[in-house]
Amino acid sequence: MSELQVGMSVPDFTLTTFEPGSGGFGELSLAKQKEEGRWTCLFFYPADFTFV
Amino acid sequence: MGCDIVTVSTDTQFTHLAWQREEKELADVRYSMAADTTGSLAKSFGVYLEAAGLALRGTFLINPEGTLMNAEVNFLNMGRNIDELMRKFKANLYLARKTDEGCPSKWKDDGDKTLTPGPEMVGRVHEALNE
């Protein structure tokens, strides 16, 4: 698959998440975000326990 | 505001839990922290550093239709400006409603000057911005 570019449709994906609000684990699903009409901001960073 | 910020790294959800519990800077965090342990999502966005197994500092805004609207990528040692992220998000929301307008570089918030491109504006952007 060629790299995503701005303007392209993002293929659906799911990732396991930690939810600080509940203290438990959850799931992030782009399909679900679209169903609920919500914007998604993906904020990638290298590693936990390091410095911004 | 209708937008979900999700942080993503190649750490597991367990490390995210431990970090959020430990680091006082994260005490007020309520956004989801996603575990891209195989790096496959980072790879699809072109931010996976193969040699390190880590993601670059990339921010991607996806609209409710699933289209990628914005991308910003910095190398590991440079943080991203959150005011700029908010500006981009507000501009996206505004432009989703006003589909014939554009937000110029100085636009920061609803109410700031926008441009409505058309043939009469060609070569006359200065006048349009200052009218």
pLDDT digits (tens, 9 = 90+) for B73-86: 999 999 999 999 99
Q: What is the pTM of this model?
A: 0.94
Mean of pLDDT values over B107-129: 94
ipTM over 0.90: yes
Amino acid residing at B17: L
- Residue B20: pLDDT band (50, 70, 90) is very high
Mean pLDDT of B5-14: 98
Helix (H/G/I), strand (E/B), else coil: B7: strand
Phi-psi group of A51: left, alpha or beta (phi > 0 → left; psi -120 to 50 → alpha; rest → beta): beta
Flag whether residue A25 sits within 8 Å of chain B, measured between CB atoms: yes
Say which residues have a Cβ less than 8 Å from residue B39's Cβ, sequence separation at least 6.
Answer: B10, B48, B53, B55
pLDDT in tens, A11-46: 999 999 999 999 999 999 999 999 999 999 999 999
State in words which class domain B6-80 has.
alpha beta
Closest A-chain CA to B13: A18
What is the token pair recorded at B101? 């307008």
- Give me the residue label for tokens 């910003």: B72
Tell if the CB–CB gap between B6 and A3 is shorter than 8 Å: no
Chain A residues with beta carbon closer than 8 angstroms to that of B11 = 47-48
**Which of helix, strand or coil describes residue B127?**
helix
pLDDT for residue A51: 77
Q: Which amino acid is at A30?
A: L
Q: A51 at the B interface (CB within 8 A)? A: no
Instruction: Answer whether B63 touches A (CB < 8 Å).
Output: yes
Q: Please, how many CA atoms are within 13 Å of residue B11, restricted to the half-sphere of its CB?
A: 22
Parse chain B into domains and list their residue ranges: 6-80
